[in-house]
Amino acid sequence: MPWIHVEDVAGIILHAIESPDISGPLNAVAPQAITNSEFTTAFSRSMCRFAPFPVPGFVFNTLLGEERGRMLTHQPKIVPQRTLDSGYKFIYSDIKSACTDCVKWS
């Protein structure tokens, strides 16, 4: 599933504003694609909590409806190639460091 840390969203916007040679859209998504299981593991470890298993897809479908649930469980792989080619350096390019940073503010 695609993800991005809020500091990188702001960083990409600022990078695009400050770089006169950039035109058109930039994908604001981290370069590391992850699964629901990888997210659950990284987030639970950053909170020093035990997560025995990721949330099953049927739970999302039940709570959010099938269409919205499917949006969370069947994401396309998005690569921020133009963002990387433009010279932007991600602050949080891996899920572990992003989750660790987010948890320290809670």
Rounded to an integer, the average pLDDT of 83-103 is 94
Average pLDDT of the chain, as a whole number: 89
Q: Roughly what angle, to the nearest 10 degrees, separates helices 95-104 and 36-46?
A: 40
Q: What pLDDT does 43 receive? A: 87
Cα torsion through 90, 100, 5, 89, rounded to 10: 0
Which residue's entry shows tokens 């919205």? 68
pLDDT tens per residue, range 39-69: 888 988 898 888 776 677 788 888 888 888 8
**Rounded distance, CA 55 to CA 57, Å?**
7
Residue pair 34/2 in contact (Cβ under 8 Å)? The answer is no
* Cα–chain center distance at 61: 21
